[in-house]
A and B are shown apart, each in its own frame.
Chain A
């Protein structure tokens, strides 16, 4: 009895109440920021930041939609262009034009008329390759989607299940953007004939199957090509001890699909004022420059410095594929269904 009543009271005192001194951020579990940067915001604004992580990207969006009448927080960060329409159609956000938005490139502003969401970062989903494998086999690494179906690369690629993994879905959307609504199934038939392997999640693909990653080397991974992120090679350098001179992996820059992540003020936020201040902070230079090494994404604000490791080890995609959120929303479920029966069965 004592424990239960104690939990009730601590819950309401500590819960996502309407305390105007606290601003609560709801995000997915890839959210990360330096403590010093958050404390600087807290000091300047007078708000205390509370973060709630709500599972992977898709889960977090779904949970936010479920709870939109009585949201868990004030700001949601982490809805990307593949899920944006689901969030907007469900009325998850209220409009707010962030201060400093003029510094954000127009190509990232996918809701620029209504300002229900603010672009915060972008990242590219691309095929990564194991440099050592291709050097040992005197083979040029693939550079484009077209290359991946060539016989030289037979049985080399591992990708993720498009229905359960966000890079897996991104890669599917990349091929759909490249080959068109009717052309992508043919491309995947060729990819399947060329021995593409599909596993459920990024962890398995990258840490188990891919021969170029640190985890994959230990697991004796056999596939030298994997669908991952353009920022994975820098991570292989930064999280290595001793740090190698060059990244062990590279990016096939013609296989990329661009993901843009947004933040928005939740519709029934308790602390709208604090939420607005926090969104402003998210596109401030201080946060934008802190972000890359924490979340392995690129800043959207012009002039925000990208860490040297990123430019040295992770070349940006030349001309990434993109797709309008409304088009993704209209086709996603059907495509994933066709993809499943085409590739997995």
Chain B
């Protein structure tokens, strides 16, 4: 099916023997090459650096400074004060252990899924892989409500066994599994599918037991991907906000929730600033480790086309494994989503859907259905920005001459995923307030904020593909007189086109579901789908609740369709998403 893929596989160029040693024959041209290379690299980096500096680093620094720089004096003593408070330490402790527990549970539940999606062929596999990714891109405000129907009162567990988990830590942990299942399936499963099963078979022929063969051949190849997925899940659960707010009840608070509370409710900006710095450092550390494992993963592995490794399950054991994975997916992922659909249809004649076309009594100034158009428009703009910024950054990072400093930038690009939306939102307010950057009232702020979240996914998808492009092709083209632009167009673009489409699709889906930053800046005449859902849920009355469910269902379907298209485009590479 995927003809072009085998040519670009990292395996093709990562064989140690086949590698052309860079220094061996390039000595005479070394100087000019290096300076030209670094000039190109700087050129590629300029726009992403400027983008993240202006729309991320500067706003965040501004709000942190506002909290700690009072009346012209730096209040660094606040750091110790805040960290000495017992409730703050409790928050730090809870944040850490629930993230560890969530990560462990997610791996436990999702690794069998990763294996099944990687190695088994079964009808509906592509659709199912899109479906399990839907929660990841849906706003928590939507899913939290549905998830309660699973673990809350009258939910499935309650009906079957009288088990209710709402407002216990189990609800939080399960919801984290629900949201991050796809991260493991995609990151680990993506690689697993491409590991050549013949290597393990060879080990068995040489006398290794099934387990020994797996432990000595497959596990080492897989472990960097598992580590990368675990770190990603840890990052997302460490900074969990909506899930903890909706399911945790008031007794559980993560660092992110506490930053929100201190900024938004209590207006204690210095405490919020200290907590932001703590979270920043923690996330930075996670990302540095993550970047390191990712690089390790991109090291030489013999990879094959994924379509060759998957086959129909054979024997009772394999069918049972497939069955249990499908049952887990159905109970944990499909069911909460189905509850949304069911509740949206819980009125005769699609009444909730029909109501969406009316101007809802002034709540929005526009019919709620218009939110679909707004969301799509914003998402297209956000995708364009994210793809531009993300692929330039990926191109710069993929260069072989990229030094340590540039590689550090790799981790920095992921930081927006780990910094609270309320910090960024408040930062925007006080920093982007003067011409030429007075964007506070502009619609454009929404796609800019969404692109901050989308760009890291673009980088993560593009980077492994770009790194795998054989440098010799580029060099050959350059020697034959092609300009750098022509080299990119003739060599890189054909190879990365699919990755680019996938990255764009993922950025698009993430933008559609983005809530935290959007809710800060969306205007009432232009609500996005998640914002409209949140507003409808915030009002009493059957019709408002029903419309919220109907809009959620529409959002879910749009996301699912976008992801299904991605499945068709998938290159089955080691990219994470």
A interface with B by C-beta (< 8 Å): 1, 3-4, 7-8, 10-12, 14-17, 24, 29-35, 38, 50-56, 58-59, 62-63, 65-67, 70, 72-73, 86, 161, 163-164, 198-204, 206-208, 213-215, 218-222, 228-229, 232, 235-236, 238-241, 290, 293-294, 296, 333, 344-345
Bound state CA distance, A211 and B507, in angstroms?
40
* B264 contact set on A, CB distance < 8 A: 55-56, 58-59, 62
Q: A29-B524, A31-B524, A200-B250 are in contact. Are A15 and B442 (CB under 8 A)?
A: yes
B residues contacting the other copy or chain, number (CB 8 A): 70
Given A198-B249, A215-B545, A239-B540, are A51 and B384 also a contact pair (CB < 8 Å)? no
Q: Are A220 and B541 in contact (CB under 8 A)?
A: no
| C-alpha gap A229/B433 in the complex (Å) | 36
For A204, list chain B residues within 8 Å (CB): 246
Give, as a whole number of angstroms, the nearest-CB distance from A100 to chain B. 22
Residues of A within 8 A of B359 (CB): 35
- For window 149-189 of B, CB contacts with A under 8 Å fall at 149, 152-154, 167
Residue pair A7, B441 in contact (C-beta under 8 Å): no
The answer, yes or no, to whether B315 is at the interface (CB within 8 Å) is no
Known interface pairs A11-B439, A161-B250. Does A294 touch B363 (Cβ–Cβ under 8 Å)?
Answer: yes
Residues in A with CB closer than 8 Å to B448 are 7
B124 within 8 A of A: no
Apart from A62-B264, A208-B145, A296-B539, list 12 A-B contacts with CB within 8 A: A7-B439, A15-B438, A15-B441, A51-B525, A58-B267, A67-B440, A72-B440, A208-B152, A214-B546, A219-B148, A220-B154, A238-B361
Q: Which residues of chain A come closer than 8 Å to B267, judged between CB atoms? A: 58, 62, 65, 86
* Chain A nearest Cβ from B561, distance in angstroms: 26
Which of B429, B441, B535, B543 contacts A66, CB < 8 Å? B429
Q: Let me know if B538 is at the binding interface, CB within 8 A.
A: yes
Task: List the 3 closest A-B pairs by CB distance, nearest first.
Answer: A239-B541, A214-B542, A220-B154
Contact across chains for A333 and B266 when beta carbons are under 8 A apart: yes
Determine whether the beta carbon of A55 is less than 8 Å from that of B167. Answer: no
B residues adjacent to A (C-beta < 8 A): 47, 51, 66, 145, 148-149, 152-154, 167, 245-246, 248-251, 261, 263-267, 343, 346-347, 351, 359, 361-365, 381, 384-385, 388, 426, 429-430, 433-445, 448, 519-520, 522-525, 535, 537-546
In this complex, what residue of B is CB-closest to A208? B148
How many angstroms between the C-alpha atoms of A129 and B351 in the bound complex? 27
CB distance from A81 to the nearest CB of B (A): 17
Indicate if the CB atoms of A240 and B543 lie closer than 8 Å. yes
Pick the contact of A7 from B251, B343, B444, B537 — CB < 8 Å?
B444
- Distance (Å) between the CB of A192 and the closest chain B CB? 13
Question: Which of the listed residues A63, A200, A232 has the most CB atoms from chain B within 10 Å of its own CB?
Answer: A200
Bound CA–CA A214/B546 (angstroms): 9
> How near does chain B come to A329, taking the closest CB pair, in angstroms?
12
What are 23 residue pairs bridging A and B, where the CB atoms are less than 8 Å apart in the complex?
A3-B381, A11-B436, A14-B441, A14-B442, A17-B438, A31-B524, A34-B361, A34-B362, A53-B523, A58-B264, A58-B267, A62-B263, A73-B441, A163-B250, A164-B250, A199-B249, A208-B148, A214-B545, A215-B540, A218-B545, A220-B153, A221-B153, A228-B540
The answer for the CA separation of A247 and B531 in the assembled complex, in Å, is 28
Cβ contacts under 8 Å, A11 to chain B: 436-439, 442, 444-445
Are A53 and B524 in contact, CB atoms less than 8 angstroms apart? yes
- Complex CA gap A7/B153 in Å reads 48
The residues of A that contact B520 with a CB separation of less than 8 Å are 54-55
Given contacts A7-B448, A63-B429, A294-B363, contact A52 B523 (CB under 8 A): yes
A207 to B549, CA, bound (A): 12
- A241 and B351: CB pair below 8 A? yes
CB distance from A82 to the nearest CB of B (A): 11
Closest B residue to A162 by beta carbon equals B250
CB–CB B440/A15 < 8 A = yes
Query: Are B251 and A344 within 8 A (Cβ)?
Result: yes
- Residues of A near B249 (CB, < 8 A) are 198-200
Bound-state CA distance A24–B250 (Å) is 36
List B contacts of A24 (CB < 8 A): 441
* Chain A residues whose CB sits within 8 angstroms of the CB of B442 once the complex forms: 7, 10-11, 14-15
- Give the complex CA separation of A178 and B359 in angstroms: 41
A290 to B248, CA, bound (A): 38
Tell me if A218 and B250 are in contact (CB < 8 A): no
Cα distance A38–B385 in the bound complex, in angstroms: 35
Known: A29-B524, A198-B249, A344-B251. A63 touches B426 (CB 8 A): yes
